[in-house]
Amino acid sequence: MIEPVRPDGFRWKTIPDAALSYMRERKGIGYVWVGAVLALGASLPALFAREVFGDDWSVYYTYWTEGLPGLFRVLREAAHAGFIVPMSLLVVLLPDMPDVAARFAGLGCHLANGVLLYSILQRSPHTKPIAALFAALFLLSPFYVIRLTQNAVYDVFLLFYLLSYGLTYSKVRALRWAAPFCLLFSLSLETLIALEPLRVVLARSAGERWTRTLARLAPFWLAVATIIVLRLTILGKSGHYAGQYSFVSDLVVIRKALAAHFMAFRTGLEYAYSHGFGLLGSRDSTALALAAMVGSALLSASALWTPWLLRSFVSSANAIVLLVLGAAIALLGAMPYAITGIYGEVMRGESRLLFPSQFGVLLLMATFIQAVPGARLRAGLAGGLLTVFALSMVQDSKWLLYDGLISSDLQRQVRAALLADPEPKVVRLHIENPHMISYRSRCLGAPDMNVAQMTLRDENRERSFVYTDHCGDFDSSGAIRNESCTISYLEFFPCPPRRETWRYRAAPGIPPPDRIGLLELMRAVLADAPSATQGRGELMQLKDDLPIALARAEYRPPCDRPGVRGTAWLLALPAPACEDSGSGAR
């Protein structure tokens, strides 16, 4: 390149065209930074929630009562043998508070996955145009929303799945050889196989013979085949889980389940908009979103620049490739669940089942945005969408905190009432407005209600059991009707003959979620209860539909009993919540 010369003889220092192109394409990395910072900030409050979500109680109870061998057995029977590694690390690192370890692990892996996705997609000319925006959408995605629970293992497996791409490009031979083994471990979450079309697109080079491409892919597809064979043979479900999620032959059921996966995209956007804007109020949220759109448009020529996908015939053809890729991943990710008749639902804990299919949906979203003409318009749309997603994540953190506040209050009072009456009983618990209270409309099943009680119970007394009336423990499961009472759905005991009905209402002691601020909620969650028997909400016994006060009592279990310290923290029990072994429990 000839440098231009000014009339005074000075030669301008010019930048080669390739370097200019590289600098311009790297400008979009601003989206990655925005996504990572917003995801971190939006998730931080939830790290302090006093909350264990759903079946996590069963995992903890098994570990606290049987140790690692019991946990290995349960996960093997559930056909989740690979889950043993991350879950064991969580319970070993913080034996009394594995929920806290899971939240930090989930958030850390999620942020790392966003950066890895950007790095991987940048390497291929097919995915490079959408790399930055897709990574930001992934980091703030409103679809998979319970990563701050034990389901953080999904993010751990995705991390190893992405490493199977990243290590492929390593200059160290040993790391390149490790890539298929990373894939093999990551496919402990078998539905990540749905992402494999991406590997074909990334591996393909222009002008390369297909035989050479297939030779590079062979070790990875061997790992996929190995997992499929193992899953259908020695790693099948057994014991308590035998027959779970069997294939269904009803095409109507399959079609409805498949449609539910695809509709989750729209539902997720509706949820993000309604709940995200509900955090600050419609007026303030709208102003914030508009400000983000304007700010993003102003940065469209620098930090938030993205290429127009329809600027030429070649780029338009590449856009079609991306659309086909996204649709294929969405379909493959939903199909394994659909053929078993189950579906992911944004408003339930089953949102984790959307993990693979929504990866494809986000590819489609990023492609559609970058097919919009005009750099400022593309940046404005992306900025507004990311703002709505971020507000939704903050609202999720608030909701998890709120659920934890009520759960600890409810279980603390239930425990005190059970301790006051030594006669064993089965309690049917009615919770007012459970779907407004419970995070993502989950139900409080047997583990949620009984694990904490059993961990902190007076072992000199017979067991009592508590079940909510909106989860099917009394009706659909048939267990209690058949006089079989369970703690964690993994073991059953004869039900005591005595039956009672209790009612819990959070109001007026705990304001509704839309009337309590995030900071006020944080202070309430972090503070211990005044005593082990008091609560904010109202717990009463119902006799002939008339509320009757329940007596309360306190008991301090031995501190060396597994799970006692962590459960006491979850229930916000004031110190000392247990007795040292030297002094003896009273």
Close Cβ partners of 423 (under 8 Å, ≥ 6 residues apart): 496, 498
Q: Which two tokens stand for residue 131?
A: 């790399």
Distance CA(549)–CA(191), nearest Å, equals 50
Distance CA(549)–CA(179), nearest Å, equals 62
Distance CA(568)–CA(564), nearest Å, equals 6
Q: Which two tokens stand for residue 573?
A: 């029990």
Close Cβ partners of 114 (under 8 Å, ≥ 6 residues apart): 32, 35, 36, 39, 135, 136, 138, 139
Distance CA(77)–CA(74), nearest Å, equals 5
What pLDDT tens digit does each residue of the chain (586 aa) get? 444 444 444 444 445 555 545 555 566 889 999 999 999 999 999 888 888 876 788 888 899 889 999 999 998 988 888 999 998 998 888 888 888 888 899 899 999 999 999 999 999 999 999 999 999 999 998 777 667 777 788 899 999 999 999 999 888 999 999 999 999 999 999 999 999 999 999 998 877 888 888 888 999 999 999 999 998 888 888 887 777 778 888 889 899 888 888 888 888 888 888 888 888 888 999 999 999 999 999 999 888 998 999 999 999 999 999 999 999 999 999 998 889 888 777 777 777 888 888 899 999 999 999 999 999 999 999 999 999 999 988 988 898 899 999 999 999 999 999 999 989 999 999 999 887 778 877 788 889 999 999 999 999 999 999 999 888 777 655 667 778 898 988 888 999 999 999 999 998 889 988 889 899 999 999 999 999 998 999 999 999 889 999 999 999 999 999 999 999 999 999 999 999 865 443 3
- Asked whether 285 and 273 are in contact (CB, 8 A), the reply is no
- Asked whether 347 and 269 are in contact (CB, 8 A), the reply is no
Strands 426-431 and 499-505: parallel
Could you count the other beta carbons within 10 Å of the beta carbon of residue 377? 14
Q: What is the CA radius of gyration of the chain?
A: 27
The secondary structure of residue 3, as a DSSP letter, is P
**417: three-class secondary structure by DSSP:** helix
Distance CA(191)–CA(209), nearest Å, equals 29
Whole-number Cα distances in Å, 293 to 30, 235, 498: 14, 49, 61
Distance CA(124)–CA(355), nearest Å, equals 23
pLDDT at site 6: 45
3-state SS track over 340-370: CCCCCCCCCHHHHHHCCHHHHHHHHHHHHHH
Among positive and negative, which fits the CA dihedral 319, 324, 327, 330? negative
Distance CA(33)–CA(133), nearest Å, equals 10
pLDDT at site 24: 56
